[in-house]
Chain A
């Protein structure tokens, strides 16, 4: 069996574009949240709960858009609670984030398991491709037109987040309360309110990521289905120095390495299959290898993780 090189490249690019939005949505959310000074380490927990909500709502209503609303709803609720503990109660953000992760990891599977005790997963189809007869267009069809509309929405979010943070007055206030809350407060900015909004926006984006994960990664639902991919977003925005466009670049390059290694393993057959787990390490090792290059320049918002007390 031979494979045309063009098909392989098309496949890799298609997978890259299919998987990246999951990281991009969450990345934009975490950037805005962290720029305001609040790091949400519970992102994967929120994603898991949104994901299981997506499955169940879609199954019951048959409408993925209702599922999206439901996913955003639960993500917003958890996000509001987390924001309240971090901002109003000044709880250690890393500890409470990890607690939310553990809670989400447990409760998402409990909900799934009690709803579908037989373990049979509902047949989740998700959103349709952008163009239904995408396969009539060579290359471009597989790479771009096959993707669902959310992939393009994620790109819009990158542009919007970059614009928001650098060009709008609320965006400047978000950065101000993360960089120097005391000065912002003196200038009349409501630090708690801006941080709350930024953290809530972050959580909603994690909900969007959870929604996108369903139907684009693993079919069905299982324990620990996101398997650390949510946490990787924290690494991506770190390398991107909290910049939206660079985060998009980090997500694309991570996924191109991922797609290339999985394509290679799939094509090489049994000879390489035993090494597939070693190849699976590649995208992560790739990110690690970037640290001495990009990690040096990374500069977190000055008041990241530091609660602010008025007066």
Chain B
């Protein structure tokens, strides 16, 4: 009977998730209608534009890579009961580091510099999260508070770097923007005309490697024990600081790495536009929806990549601000959380 209940449970969870996502979409449609938009145009923009419109497919995969890489880290830390609210900051620092390496280590030969830019981004994210990691492990300081503080610091740090050290010399008006990365420093497409870069299979590979390293070894149990009951973890001889440090530092490195794939695979230049995004929070949603499972997060990330591209297209079609997407995501997340409560209650013994 156990498998029957599990199947039913999975079905119930899925049904609630679909309902929650439907609610979020409905809210978006209401805003569109209120703003005088056409509902048919809105619906087709939401569901079809991501695959029919030029650049739609590219956007989906760019965001999939972005969300998946960041959410893997968020999920990893969550397994150990740690909230990395700072993925956004680590990602920003990662992007800044790409240009720091490009600008200041420009003398390196091409393949070395190329690798150093990607590596530098991951190191940047890792250094950024090392502050909350050390404060948590050494002083027991709350990682939520520290990662939040460091997000604000990261934005200001990025502004400073953009306005000086990594600013493009060509912009006479002092507009804070970097140079555009030349073609040989961009991540190429797998097939000539199709805008899907090597970052996509690389990210999937990282996801699978983490799946094998985390879900298929005793590390999963160690992290879960630390996350759920530190007393038990201590009793079982698990090194809590070690597990915390590993998951946190990996989370920072992954978010930093997402900065490299985003810049070198899509954006090619850094300006202040990237600072007012909220991808770090979307990554948290993906990690939660994917149930902190290294592969589950991948599916959740792909879904949210598709959905955000569609929802932004819907907003633009009705001349509504793309901020409506945040409201939709908020509703979806709340709905999914409430759905998991209802599922738990239904299957409670």
- Name B330's closest neighbour in chain A (CB-CB): A103
**Contact (Cβ within 8 A) A113 B321:** yes
By a CB distance below 8 angstroms, the chain B residues around A69 are none
**Contact (Cβ within 8 A) B135 A295:** yes
By a CB distance below 8 angstroms, the chain B residues around A231 are 148, 151-152
CB-CB contacts of A154-165 with B at 8 A, as 1s and 0s? 000000000000
**Contact (Cβ within 8 A) B145 A98:** no
**Contact (Cβ within 8 A) A223 B152:** no
**A291-B321 Cα distance, complex, nearest whole Å:** 39
**A287-B281 Cα distance, complex, nearest whole Å:** 23
**Contact (Cβ within 8 A) B333 A102:** yes
**Contact (Cβ within 8 A) B152 A102:** no
Q: How extensive is the interface on chain B, given as a class?
A: 35 or more
By a CB distance below 8 angstroms, the chain B residues around A278 are 156-157, 160
**Contact (Cβ within 8 A) A285 B153:** yes
By a CB distance below 8 angstroms, the chain A residues around B331 are 99, 103
**A238-B157 Cα distance, complex, nearest whole Å:** 24
**A231-B164 Cα distance, complex, nearest whole Å:** 28
**Contact (Cβ within 8 A) A106 B149:** no
**A288-B156 Cα distance, complex, nearest whole Å:** 15
A168 at the interface (CB under 8 A from B): no
Known: A228-B148, A295-B135. A100 touches B330 (CB 8 A): yes
**A234-B131 Cα distance, complex, nearest whole Å:** 18
By a CB distance below 8 angstroms, the chain B residues around A253 are none
B334 at the interface (CB under 8 A from A): yes
Stretch at the interface among B117-125, B136-144, B218-226: B136-144
By a CB distance below 8 angstroms, the chain A residues around B140 are 295-296
**A73-B323 Cα distance, complex, nearest whole Å:** 23
* Other-chain contact of A89, B31, B146, B324, B341 (Cβ < 8 Å): B341
- Name B35's closest neighbour in chain A (CB-CB): A114
**A145-B304 Cα distance, complex, nearest whole Å:** 51
Q: A107-B330, A110-B321 are in contact. List 12 more A-B contacts (CB 8 A).
A: A91-B338, A94-B83, A95-B337, A96-B334, A103-B326, A103-B327, A103-B329, A103-B331, A113-B323, A232-B148, A235-B146, A284-B150
**A residues at B contact (CB < 8 Å):** 41, 45, 85, 89-92, 94-96, 98-107, 109-110, 113-114, 223-224, 227-228, 231-232, 234-235, 238, 274-275, 277-278, 280-281, 284-285, 287-288, 291-292, 295-296, 298, 300
